[in-house]
Each structure stands twice: as structure tokens, then as C-alpha cells.
Structure 1
Amino acid sequence: MDVYPRRLYLQAGRGCPTCCCFATPDTVQCRYVRLLEPPADLPRAVRNLSIAGGNLTVLRAAAFAGGWAPGGREAAARPLAQLTLLVLTHDRIAALEEAAFAGLPALATLDLSHNPLRAVAPGAFAACGRLRTLRLNQALPPAPGAAAELLLGGALRNLSLARLELAGNRLRELPPAAALPPGLEELDVRNNSLRAPRPERLDGLARLRLLLAANPLHCDCASLRPLLAWRRNATWRAPDARGLRCASPPPLRDAPVLRLRAAQLGCPDGDADDEAWGLPEPDGAGQEQLETASYVFFGVVLALIGVVFLMVLYLNRKGIKRWLNNLREACRDQMEGYHYRYEQDSDPRRAGPGDL
């Protein structure tokens, strides 16, 4: 078995130069080679496949498994039964046709980030029964949220995803629950254009974790109340809530959301109850009190250890004094013996004539 990575030369397809991929028996990487089609001769034992910087444009049926078998049967010609990770970033993919990933029964993670997706067939992921993580960061068209819903709604509905990443897509609205896989556990919508998540959209996402950092949130009473109320009873729903900051209005720009008071948001007197909103102590006082208590407890523990050490020294003072005296006497005897030998023969390397 090869210990060091070996170089594989794979024929990319019609009209395309031979691409040089560096591979181990279960990992193939093709980076920034102008592929027009997926490599035609992928090893059947490959588990991790990465193609970055290509020009794939359109992924047809069973694109990575040799297409459909001849004879009209809807089965992949060369299925890759062990492939679990497929990374296709910066490949200029604009369209995913029906059953584009057929022939990859074990596929668990698919990364289509940084591609200009414009068309996704409803059955593009139909053959990916084990797909758990789908990354579509900076891959959706720069259009209002409705366009993204139409693009992804039919394709994602039948998947059993655990994590969906939609970061950096300039989304103005959260995707509706109907357009998401039913068992989704985590949705990443960081670095989008979300200003005020609507209550009905948040209510549909009550059973998953939502990552919202780096969105231009508008901080006023009407805009923030749905988000804070949604998070109030289950703080795990927004694991990055402490990193959320306001983008507007100007007086509150860059202010941490969880340190704002209801009065700062312009709420009427009847709505100015911070506890009802689920807001923590002002200016992080609760966190500071917890840290202070931790430092005090640590100091008390160190003090107790010091007191015990001093008591041990005090109770054993006679034994310690005796041990020091014995050590001093032993050192003195050693030095006297050294001086005696030196006086007898100051240079033992020289020998007199009678010793020869």
C-alpha cells in the first residue's frame, strides 16, 4: 500500500485538457484546473472528492457516477458507493439538473458554496438519502428572498438534513419552514441582509438552532421584540446571540443587542419590562457578577491551601530543624574529606619517580 500520496492523471472529458489531481486511495483533489465536466475515471474507493476553481456550469444526471447506464435504465453507470464528502466550490455551477448526484448513496456532506446557482431542479438531490450537511454559502442569486424560496423550495423539502448553510446570500427574509427539510437542526444565515425577522418566520423555526451574526439588524421595539421573544424560553435557539449587534438606528449602531434595555428601543411604558423580553442584566452585570464570584472562590481556595501548608510546616518544625542540621553536618563532612585529599596530593595526575 502506498504510504505517500500519489499523483493520478484523470481524463476530464471531451474538449478538456488532462487534469492532474493529487490523491490518496480515498481522497481526490482537483484545484483550479479548468474542468468542463466532472472527471470520468474517479477511483471507486474514493471517499472525499474536492473540485475547486473549475468550469462545470451544469451538473447533469449522475454527473459524478458516469451518467445513466446504457439501455435506458435509470441507474448510475459507475456509482461511487463510498463517497461521503463532495466539495464543489468556485466551480461556476449555474444549474443542477434532475438526479445530479445520483450514484452517490453514501454522500453525507455536500459543499456548493461560491457558485452562481440560477436553476435547481426539484429532484436535484433526490438520490441523496444520507445527506446531512448542505453548504450553499454565497451560492444563491442576488434577488429578494422569494426568489431563493422558489429556487430551493422543491429541492430541499424531501431531504433529511441536519445542517443547512446559507451564509453570505444577501437574504432579506428568513426562509419559510415549508421550504426547509422537516428534520433540520441548524440553519446558518450569517452575513446576510436580515433587518427584522418576521414573527411568523421565527415561529416556524422553533425547533432548530439559528445562527444570525453579521446581519444588519434594526434595533427598535417592533423589530427586535419578535426575535427576543422567540429566544426567551430557549436560549439554545440562537447560540451566537451574544455576538448580535445593531446596524441602525445611528444612535445604537454597533451596540450589542443583548445589552440594550427596552427603554432604549423606544418601547411604550407598558412594554418596557426587560424581564418579559428575556433580556439579561444591563451592561453584562450578571456575567460580571458571575466572573467576580468565580475569582473570589478561587482566591479562597488558594488561601486555604496556603494556611494548610503553613500549619504543616509549623507542626513539623522540630523535624525540619533536625533534617536541616543533618544536611549541614553531611555537607561539612563532605567538604572536610575533600580538603584532606587535596592536602595529601594537590595534583593527583602527577606521580613521583618512586611510583613508576
Structure 2
Amino acid sequence: MAPRLGRSELRGPPLLPGLLLVAAALSRPAAACPFQCYCFGSPQLLLRCAPGAELRQPPRDVPPDARNLTIVGANLTVLRAAAFAGGDADGEEAAARVRLPLLTALRLTHNNIEVVEDGAFDGLPSLTALDLSHNPLRALGGGAFRGLLALRSLQLTRALARGGPALLATLDDALERLDELRFLGLADNALSRLPPAALSRPHLEQLDARLNALAGLSPDELRALERDGGRPAPRLLLADNPLRCGCAARPLRAWLRNATERVPDARLLRCAAPRALLDRPFLDADEAPLRCDDGPGRGEDVDLAGPELEASYVFFGLVLALIGLIFLMVLYLNRRGIQRWMRNLREACRDQMEGYHYRYEQDADPRRAPAPAAPAGSRATSPGSGL
């Protein structure tokens, strides 16, 4: 089973006419074909699979009327010029050779492809869909796609992360030739910016930029996404990018609010920085915890709940610890006086309690009780009277 992409399900492009046969052909090999294989379909033979574990170059037994070709799990490593049109020939002969004139869909996933030379896909005039996903590309020729004048879908998911800035520069050159491109998949490639050539494709309908390292979109990128002449603007997928919210994100947030339908996953976008807005919805992030600098460094923000406030908490804690330490030292140095004071207090309490106990005993003696008073109106008689 092919590996899945981490947090998000990376869906492919909308179904194009040239991809319908690919979907039908690839629905069967899951049970009948091993992971390492190559498959092709044609009108006469709907589907045929063969082992491809030891395959180091594109197979030569694909019939000329094949409409789709899938190679998975091979070790192609380098796609040389005219690799699918007899790449062992040299110069213009190889470029002009057409072995697969009807091939419309080519899938080359998980083949350990590291280098794609100029003209690697020469001789495939009908190709409309190309998938190079899950290959550790390190080098891509600026003319790698020069013969694909009809290409409408290009999938590069998890294929560019190892190439660095040099690979992105040549990717720009390679995309410049794809005027008919409708879908471009750049998901999970650690991109910190979008390729300018991708944004300028005249017929682009969808750009998948999920699971990258985009902190936001620059004003130039936002302007490039706007189309002149009434042409529809492309849809953009941005989920699972570490977007920086706050003051610097004002242009992107305003653009998203005015073009929600062009970013279908806009409600899934979350803030990754600054700390005060971490994991909040991007469209609803409040800038109240920040101090926006609209001066020379316009768009910069300072996280008031970030390092500065954290440092103040640390300083306050140190002051409290110092005060507590001084208090303990005072107690220790005056321990004898405190003991004497406690002893005197205990003796005073004991004397007080003894006084209360003495008065209680005196009050409880019946001999010391006062005589009862005589009733009112009675005469007092002496002991010696005869009455």
C-alpha cells in the first residue's frame, strides 16, 4: 500500500477527460498486481501488469496504442532525454521519435527518481496527466516538460522537499512551458513560497499547496492570483501550513474574506504564530494580544504574551524567592530570641489559665455562697425571741 500523507487527505485534481481511462485502469491492479509493477492499458488490452522491481528504465514492451502507463516501485533514478521514446538514441533522433503517440496519462510514483533531464518526456505528444509524486527529486531540468504541450495535470506531491532552492528555480523554468496546465499539485514539499511560474499559468484552475511551510502569501503572490480580462482565478488549497497571524497577515486575511470560494479550505486554516494566537482560526484571529508596528517595519507584530511577558514573570518569581530567602535567614538568626519569646508567651498563658482556674474553684465553694434574701413584707426575728 502506498504511504499516506500525514495530517490531510491529499486529493487529486478534478477528473479530466484524459484521466477517466486512468481511473478505470488503476482500479484493478490493487488485488492482482504487486506493489512493484508497471501497468498499461489500451483499447485492445484494457490492463496488463508486469513485475517492475528490477526496472531501471521505462519498459519497452508498452504497445503503441497504450492510453495510460503506471510504473510503481521501480528504481528509475534518472529519467534521461526521450526516456519514453527510445532514450538510447542521441540528439534530435531521440526527440523526434514517438513510440507512444496516444499515451494520455503517465504515473511514476515511488520510483526513487532523483534526476529528470531536459526533454525526459519528449515523444509523448498526447500526454495530459503526469504524476511524479513521492520521488526524492534533487535535480529537474528547465526543459524537462518541453514536449508536453497538451499537459493539463501535473502532480508533484512530496517530490521537491530534498532539492532545495536550486530545484525550485529550475521548476519555475520548467513550468513556463506548460500553458495548458489546469491542475498543479505541490503538497507536502516544505515550500516557503509559491513558484511564481505556477501562479502565472494562464489556464490554471487549481493549485494544491497543502502541508508546506508557508507562513503566508506576499502581496506579489496575492496580485498574481488575480486574473485580468475576465478569466477565472485559480482555486488555492492552503490547509496545514504554519501561517503567521497578526499584523503581517492583514493583506492575506482581507483577500481570503473577499475570495472564500477560491480557497475551499479557508475555514480550516489555523495560526501557528505568534504564541498569543496559536491554533486560533486564521480568519477570526484577533490582533488584540499584539502590538502592531506600522512604522518603517510595517506589518511587524510584537507578541505581548510572548518572550517579554515571560521574562517579566521570571523576574517576578526571582524577587519573591529572594524575599523568602531573606525571611528565612532572619528567622534563623533570631532563633534564640524567638524561642525565649515563645517560652515567655507560654508562661504568661499558663499564669492566666491558673488565675481563671482559681476563681472558678472559689465560685464553686457552697460555704462562700451568699445567704438568700428574706421575702418582702416579713419581719426579722431575733434568735432570742419567744416566737
TM range (shorter): 0.5 to 0.7
User: Which residue is 2:371 aligned to?
Assistant: none
Aligned letter for 1:149? L
Instruction: State which structure, 1 or 2, has the greater radius of gyration over its C-alpha atoms.
Output: 2
Deviation at 1:243?
0.9
Structure 1 residue runs of 5 or longer lacking an equivalent are: 7-18, 270-356
Of 180-189 and 41-50, the range deviating more from structure 2: 180-189
Instruction: Tell me the TM-score normalized by structure 2.
Output: 0.58
Query: Percentage identity across aligned positions?
Result: 51
- The question of 1:229 aligning with 2:254 is answered yes
Alignment of 1:257-268 (within 5 A): 257-263=282-288
Q: 2:159 aligns with which of 139, 146, 155?
A: 139
Q: Is the 8 A contact 1:117 1:139 kept in 2?
A: yes
User: Which residue is 1:247 aligned to?
Assistant: 272
Go from structure 1 to structure 2 and tell me whether the alpha carbon gap of 1:220 and 1:253 turns closer, same or farther (over 3 Å shift). Answer: same
Shift >6 Å, 4+ stretches: 68-71
Separation (CA, whole Å) in 2 of partners of 1:69 and 1:143: 28
User: Which residue is 2:235 aligned to?
Assistant: 209
Deviation at 1:116?
1.5
Instruction: Tell me the TM-score normalized by structure 1.
Output: 0.63
Secondary structure in 2 matching 1:73: helix
User: Which residue is 2:315 aligned to?
Assistant: none
Separation (CA, whole Å) in 2 of partners of 1:89 and 1:133: 15
Count, aligned residues: 251
Q: Is the 8 A contact 1:220 1:266 kept in 2?
A: no
Go from structure 1 to structure 2 and tell me whether the alpha carbon gap of 1:220 and 1:20 turns closer, same or farther (over 3 Å shift). Answer: closer
Separation (CA, whole Å) in 2 of partners of 1:107 and 1:40: 17
Deviation at 1:246?
1.2
Which structure has the higher relative contact order (CA within 8 Å, separation 6+)? 2
Go from structure 1 to structure 2 and tell me whether the alpha carbon gap of 1:63 and 1:238 turns closer, same or farther (over 3 Å shift). Answer: same
Of 39-48 and 170-179, the range deviating more from structure 2: 170-179
Alignment of 1:257-336 (within 5 A): 257-263=282-288
User: Which residue is 2:53 aligned to?
Assistant: 33
Secondary structure in 1 matching 2:70: strand
Secondary structure in 1 matching 2:93: coil
Go from structure 1 to structure 2 and tell me whether the alpha carbon gap of 1:128 and 1:71 turns closer, same or farther (over 3 Å shift). Answer: closer
User: Which residue is 1:150 aligned to?
Assistant: 169
Alignment of 1:186-205 (within 5 A): 186-205=206-225
Aligned letter for 2:100? L
Separation (CA, whole Å) in 1 of partners of 2:243 and 2:90: 54
Structure 2 residue runs of 5 or longer lacking an equivalent are: 1-27, 30-35, 227-232, 295-387
Go from structure 1 to structure 2 and tell me whether the alpha carbon gap of 1:129 and 1:28 turns closer, same or farther (over 3 Å shift). Answer: farther
